[in-house]
Amino acid sequence: MGKRKKLLSMLMLVMAVSMILAACGSDGAKDSSSKDSNKKEKLVAGTEATFAPFESMDDNGKVVGIDVDVLKAIGEETGKEFEVKNIGWEPVFQQVTNGEIDLGASGITITDERKETYDFTEPYYEATQLIVVKKDSKVKSLQDLKDKKIAVQINTTGHIAAQKLQGKTSPKIKAYENQPLAFQEVINGSVDAAIGDNAVVIEYLKNNPDAKLKTVEDDAFEKEYYGFMVKKGNKEVLDVLNEGLKKMKENGKLAKITSQELK
Ligand code: ARG
């Protein structure tokens, strides 16, 4: 073998080995983190960004909202950096499970059922469900929806509330990918009502003043608490989030961002 050829094949060998090493080193969402030691560790959050005021897309295609602001502030308290990706509601759960993302930050209610599969931070927001109907609707309570068509976002606590009322397999419950689609069905008149998280309903009505919608409260809806969600056992990320939240509860930053006092 000539000198040049030998050099070339050695070069190729080095390249092959380093490619293999690089592949071994990658570890899901953590890949982008600590390659550059001067850079802060970056945690990747998944969300479904049609859920203002918690998450929506701005004109530049960036996710903005209360969840983003809370994570940013947690980052300031803990020296971490967060990236928030708009991936869709059900993918949030799937990708936390398979480790593609580090956490779910999507106005996610802490429920006993979800706690079987995931770990949640301490709560950062208190919410409840709210009914949306047309302005001229006679619906006054949750019970009034017993035999009515209800639109919800799929696999949300609003969906569960509708199922509790009508039964799990009720054909009158229409489940959509996101919350605005459910509200749109009320406007179209293809359903009688929608059920959704209160702050999101109120924000939607505020942003759509011509939609001729109103809200109906009912004490039958339980209090809900939002938490950030990690894969069960992911103590490392959970601890960072809880540490940040704890500090923000103490120094008043959380209340400032959420406009809500939470113990
Ligand atoms: N809080 C409700 C739940 O956890 C709805 C959350 C929906 N979030 C969203 N970004 N679309 O089920």
Q: What is the pLDDT of residue 37?
A: 53
Domain total for the chain?
Answer: 2
- What does the alpha-carbon distance between residue 73 and residue 81 come to, in Å, rounded to a whole number? 10
Same-domain check for residues 147 and 104: no
Verify that 215 and 229 share a domain, yes or no. Answer: no
Do 120 and 230 lie in one domain? The reply is: yes
Together in a domain, 146 and 209:
yes
Taking each continuous run of H as one helix and of E as one strand, the counts in the chain are 9, 15
Residues 108 and 179 in one domain: no
CA 33 to chain centre: 21
Q: What is the predicted pLDDT for the residue at 41? A: 81
Domain membership of residue 183 (yes or no) is: yes
Based on the fold, state whether residues 159 and 243 are members of the same structural domain. no
Q: Which two tokens stand for residue 61?
A: 């295609």
> Tell me, what CATH number does 241's domain have?
3.40.190.10
Q: Is the CB of 128 under 6 A from ligand 1?
A: no
Task: Kindly state if the Cβ of 56 falls inside 6 Å of ligand 1.
Answer: no
Pocket test for ligand 1, best of 47, 50, 51 (most atoms within 8 A of CB): 51
One domain, residues 143 and 206: yes
Does residue 133 sit in the same domain as residue 191?
A: yes
Q: Is residue 20 part of a domain?
A: no
Compute, in angstroms, the gap from residue 184 CA to the centroid of ligand 1.
Answer: 17
Q: Quick one: 214 and 247 in the same domain?
A: no
Q: What pLDDT does residue 38 have?
A: 58
- What's the pLDDT score for residue 25? 46
What is the mean pLDDT, run by run of 10 residues, along the chain of 263 residues? 62 57 48 53 96 98 98 98 98 98 99 98 98 98 98 98 98 98 98 98 97 98 98 98 98 98 85
Q: Does some domain include residue 31?
A: no
Of 103, 102, 118, the residue nearest 30 (C-alpha): 102
Q: Verify that 115 and 234 share a domain, yes or no.
A: yes
Q: List beta partners, residue 81.
A: 42
- The residue segments making up the domain with residue 54 are 42-126+225-261
Residues 158, 209, single domain; the answer is yes
What is the pLDDT, as a whole number, of residue 202? 98
